[in-house]
């Protein structure tokens, strides 16, 4: 069902776990399949320094989280917002048709994490 | 790497005893059982023997056994055939919410054709309520179809009580015994069962062959037309080797039932105990006692089933998630939903089904791997302990 690249990543994810010092954290859940993805971002001057994830989900959700966190590292937020679910699927050399929604879920949690970062910035500025 | 197969509810290996019985029918004995010459007659004799063995195994007459391609066909046939042939008598069918899709999808189709179908609830352990069954029978009811034992959670229904009520009310009772043969003592004659579906490959027999028992006198329309096979009820050249294998498999399964179930049950209880001792937030689904001797259905908190399955697979261990369904939606958890398992736990459900060749050493290895894999997945889970079972 899954290709070799996906299974390789699944068996050895590098970015799984909590990111201490994250200043953008976002969670998204898929009400149809039940999967939950949380993305942690550490951002400095609008550039992502580090990214990690925690995922409750299938092989597709875990690997989509892994490649997405890898893709965004050292990228500017302006570039990151252009990443699409198709980019994630391509990075995995494809996902089965019924699993492609997992890439959308990963992308949604990234958006939530970026949104959280901006909200924190806004709060900090108001505090000043 | 040694592989460990704990998915015996999906299918089983073909036993050598069965294969030996089948071998001549792949090579030397190839006649068409419908032919009049000696080649045909020897095939016919083999067919008769298989019929007798199955009749002996489930307690009915050989003439009441009809060979099919498997339990899915048997289930399709009994529902469609009874509904069609008894329309003048009534248009109501009673079944349950936890039946196999080969019952549920046919019932839904019959509903679209104007039949009424009652889907009985089950309690948290997976048992139907006898009083609810009784209250739902009316003058229009032509069939009660309830599985003997559930494929996912292993719960065994109170077959005798159901059969008694059906008999009292004069309603026909069919049971899908696919998972129960070889695990549960069934005698159709003594118990008052009017129809029963069974399958070869679940009991160390071949795939692609099964049977439907229909009590003499039951009004049912044929499944397939175009030949006089199976008493004109199921046309098509008999699957000789398969049928011979099925006959032997039923004979062996019912012959060895006491020895096998005792051994497997002991191992299963050991496994349940070890897993729950070593992994917290692990919940057993189904009935604690009245369950198939080889079935363990566990929900692991904070963990998703497919990931767990694939990691076990990487360790050489074959299991199944809630059901063998490949659908990407939560609908596949309909049995777990019926027994009120919270959604997140349903998603973290794994079914382990043992066989007579499963060993304690294998199970010890599985427990050790499970401990590691569940810990690994919990480490990356965004669900906290306090959230488990809340959805």
pLDDT per position as a tens digit, B294-306: 999 999 999 999 9
Averaged pLDDT of chain B? 96
Q: What pLDDT, on the 0 to 100 scale, is given for residue B326?
A: 43
- Picking from B255, B279, B298, the residue at the C-terminal end of a domain is B255
Residues B155 and B300 in one domain: no
pLDDT at B329: 53
- Domain membership of residue B291 (yes or no) is yes
- State pLDDT tens for residues B35-60: 999 999 999 999 999 999 999 999 99
Q: Which domain holds residue B149?
A: 16-255
Cα separation, A68 vs B215, whole angstroms: 61
Determine whether the interchain pair B304/A56 forms a contact, defined as Cβ–Cβ distance below 8 Å. Answer: yes
Claim to verify: residue B272 and residue B192 sit in the same structural domain: no
Q: What is the CATH number of the domain that holds B356?
A: 3.90.1150.10
CA distance B122 to chain A (A): 24
On whether both B248 and B277 belong to a single domain, the answer is: no
pLDDT in the model for residue B34: 93
- Does one domain contain both B41 and B120? yes
Position B331 scores a pLDDT of 64
In this structure, the answer to whether residues B171 and B269 fall within a common structural domain is no
Inter-chain CB proximity B381 and A54 less than 8 Å: yes
Catalytic residues of B: 325
Domain ranges for chain A: 4-127
pLDDT in tens, B145-190: 999 999 999 999 999 999 999 999 999 999 999 999 999 999 999 9
- Compute the average pLDDT of residues B343-366: 96
Query: pTM for this structure?
Result: 0.94
Confidence bin at B389 (pLDDT 50/70/90): confident
Residues B100 and B202 in one domain: yes
Which of B255, B272, B306 represents a domain boundary (last residue)?
Answer: B255
Is residue B10 assigned to a domain?
no
One domain for residues B148 and B206: yes
Beta-carbon separation of A13 and B380 below 8 A: yes
Question: Which residue among B307, B347, B391 sits closest to A62, beta carbon to beta carbon?
Answer: B307
Average pLDDT over residues B228-236: 95
| Cβ distance of A27 and B314 shorter than 8 Å | no
- The answer to whether position B7 is within a domain reads no
The answer on B279 and B268 residing in a single domain is yes
pLDDT recorded at residue B141: 98
As for the ipTM of the complex, it is: 0.93
The 10s digit of each residue's pLDDT in A45-62 is 999 999 999 999 999 999
Number of domains in chain B: 2
Q: Quick one: closest CA in A to B315, which residue? A: A11
- For residue A115, the surrounding DSSP H or E stretch is helix A101-127
Q: Tell me if the domain spanning A4-127 has CATH number 3.90.1010.10.
A: yes
- Asked, for residue B139, whether it belongs to a domain, the answer is yes
Domain's final residue, options B255, B287, B306: B255
Residue B1 belongs to some domain of the structure? no
Contacts of B54 (CB under 8 A, 6+ apart): B62, B65, B198, B211, B213, B246, B247, B250, B251
Cα A43 from Cα A45, distance rounded (Å): 7
Residue B250 in domain: yes
pLDDT in tens, A61-107: 999 999 999 999 999 999 999 999 999 999 999 999 999 999 999 99
Among A10, A17, A27, beta carbon nearest to B310: A10
Q: Is residue B6 part of a domain?
A: no
B324 pLDDT above the threshold of 90: no
Per-residue model confidence (pLDDT) at position B325: 38
- Place B390 in a pLDDT band, splitting at 50, 70 and 90: confident
Best residue in A58, A96, A105, A108 for a mutation probing chain B (most B CBs within 10 Å): A58
Provide the pLDDT for residue B330. Answer: 56
pLDDT tens profile B105-127: 999 999 999 999 999 999 999 99
CATH of the domain at B44: 3.40.640.10
pLDDT at B87: 93
Is residue B235, in this structure, part of any structural domain at all? yes
Do A58 and B307 make contact, defined as CB atoms within 8 angstroms?
yes
What's the gap in Å between the CA of A120 and the closest CA on chain B? Answer: 21
B82/B195 same-domain check: yes
**Same domain as B207, residue B281:** no
State whether B122 and B221 are in the same domain: yes
């Amino acid at each position: 069902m899954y290709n070799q690249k996906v299974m390789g990543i699944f068996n050895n994810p590098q970015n799984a776990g909590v990111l201490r010092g994250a200043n953008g954290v976002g969670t998204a859940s898929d009400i149809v399949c039940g999967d939950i993805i949380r993305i942690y971002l550490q951002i400095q001057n609008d550039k992502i320094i580090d990214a990690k994830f925690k995922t409750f989900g299938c092989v597709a959700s875990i690997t989509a989280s892994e490649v997405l966190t890898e893709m965004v590292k050292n990228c500017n937020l302006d570039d990151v917002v252009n990443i699409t679910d198709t980019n994630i699927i391509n990075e995995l050399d494809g996902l089965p048709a019924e699993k492609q929604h997992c890439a959308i879920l990963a992308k949604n949690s990234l958006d939530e994490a970026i949104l959280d970062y901006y909200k924190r910035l806004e709060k900090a500025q108001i505090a000043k | 790497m040694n592989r460990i197969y704990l998915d015996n509810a999906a299918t089983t290996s073909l036993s050598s005893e069965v294969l030996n019985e089948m071998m001549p029918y792949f090579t030397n004995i190839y006649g068409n059982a419908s032919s009049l010459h000696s080649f045909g007659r020897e095939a016919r004799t083999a067919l008769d023997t298989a019929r007798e063995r199955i009749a002996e195994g489930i307690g009915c007459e050989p003439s009441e056994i009809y060979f099919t391609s498997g339990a899915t066909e048997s289930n399709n046939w009994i529902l469609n055939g009874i509904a069609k042939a008894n329309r003048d008598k009534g248009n109501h069918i009673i079944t349950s919410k936890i039946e196999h899709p080969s019952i549920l999808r046919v019932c839904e189709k019959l509903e679209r054709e104007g039949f009424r179908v009652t889907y009985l609830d089950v309690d948290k352990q997976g048992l139907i309520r006898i009083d609810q069954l009784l209250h739902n029978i009316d003058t229009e009811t032509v069939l009660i179809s309830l599985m003997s034992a559930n494929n996912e959670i292993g719960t065994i229904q109170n077959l005798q009580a159901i059969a008694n009520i059906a008999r009292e009310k004069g309603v026909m009772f069919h049971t899908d015994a696919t998972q129960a043969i070889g695990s549960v003592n069934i005698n159709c004659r003594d118990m008052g069962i009017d129809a029963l579906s069974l399958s070869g490959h679940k009991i160390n027999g071949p795939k692609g062959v099964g049977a439907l028992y229909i009590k003499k006198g039951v009004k049912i329309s044929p499944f397939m037309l175009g030949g006089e096979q199976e008493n004109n009820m199921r046309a098509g050249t008999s699957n000789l080797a398969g049928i011979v294998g099925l006959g032997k498999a039923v004979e062996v399964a019912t012959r060895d039932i006491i020895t096998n179930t005792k051994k497997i049950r002991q191992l299963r209880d050991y496994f349940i105990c070890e897993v729950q001792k070593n992994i917290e937030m692990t919940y057993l689904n189904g009935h604690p006692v009245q369950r198939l001797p080889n079935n363990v259905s566990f929900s692991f908190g904070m963990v998703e089933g497919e990931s767990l399955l694939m990691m076990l697979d990487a360790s050489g261990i074959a299991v199944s998630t809630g059901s063998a369904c490949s659908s990407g939606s939560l609908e596949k958890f309909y049995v777990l939903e019926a027994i009120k398992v919270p959604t997140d736990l349903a998603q973290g459900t794994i079914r382990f089904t043992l066989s007579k060749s499963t060993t304690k050493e294998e199970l010890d290895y599985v427990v050790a791997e499970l401990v590691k894999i569940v810990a690994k997945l919990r480490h990356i889970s965004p669900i906290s302990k306090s959230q488990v079972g809340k959805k």
